[in-house]
Amino acid sequence: MKVMTPIDRITLLLTGLLAAYQVVVGVSDKDPLALVSYTVAFGVLLVAGLLLIILGFSILDAPSVAAVSSLIPLALSLGLITEHVPSAKVPYLVFAVLGFIAIVLAKFISAEKVGVLVLALVHGISGLVIFILPLFLSLQGTTPNRFVFVGVGGGLIGIGGILFSFLKTGNPLLDKKTIYRLLPGLLLMMTASFVWGFTAV
């Protein structure tokens, strides 16, 4: 297990501060469901960063962490759909709720590989929404160009999801220590991209 360095802790602290800023400042004047969704996403990100600082990388091995962390892409993508594609709000809310329930059940009841498959499927769909929708809206001129950085953040969260999915299946793209070494920087870049993109709208 990789030992968390002071640089890792500082990076995670900056991530937490950015997430806290987005919760306090960046999610006002939204549709109530979008407001709740964004608050949940960045709130979970804030708590995850603080827990990593306090407990270290070993917390990532707990089954509950994968289930709770799935709230980040699910809630964020739900907020984007609610705000920018309101006609799809209800069906996507149903998907998000059922997807989270499926992840929890698969993690605590089913075999490990089934849990990874369900997690990858739900993360994949929500990650694509976060990545593609801001790009489409920016190119269409519906939102300012800087909103594209929300999609960049979605791409980064997708990279992290892929790395951890392959790690859990026993066929890692990178060794565990390397993934944990990259994680704090990846989380900071992802959160910074989200905050920078959301300040455009």
Q: What is the DSSP letter of 173?
A: S
pLDDT band at residue 179, thresholds of 50, 70 and 90? confident
Question: What pLDDT, on a 0 to 100 scale, did the predictor assign at position 111?
Answer: 58
The mean predicted confidence, pLDDT, of the chain is 85
Tell me which DSSP letter residue 72 carries: H
Where does the pLDDT of residue 117 fall: very low under 50, low under 70, confident under 90, or very high at 90 and above? confident
Q: What is the CA radius of gyration of the chain?
A: 16
Q: For residue 92, what are its two tokens?
A: 């996507």
* 143 SS3 class: coil
Residue 194 pLDDT greater than 90, yes or no: yes
Taking the alpha carbons of 51, 156, 197, 84 in that order, is the dihedral positive or negative? Answer: negative
3-state secondary structure of 6: helix
Neighbours of 120 (CB within 10 A): 18
The half-sphere exposure of 2 on its side-chain side, counting CA atoms within 13 A, is: 18
Distance separating alpha carbons of residues 171 and 162, to the nearest angstrom: 11
Average pLDDT over residues 24-36: 78
10-14, 60-64, 73-77, 148-152: which has the minimum mean pLDDT?
60-64
- Dist. CA 3–CA 201, nearest whole Å: 39
Helices 71-84 & 89-108, crossing angle to 10 degrees? 170
pLDDT given at position 120: 78
Q: Identify the pLDDT of residue 102.
A: 86
- Four-residue CA torsion sign, 175, 77, 67, 103: negative
The reported pTM is 0.88
Q: What is the mean pLDDT of residues 161-178?
A: 73
Instruction: Indicate whether 152 pLDDT > 80.
Output: yes
Q: How far apart are CA 140 and CA 145, in angstroms?
A: 10
With a cut of 70, say whether residue 143 has pLDDT above it.
yes
pLDDT at 76: 94
Least confident of 26-30, 120-124, 140-144, 190-194: 26-30
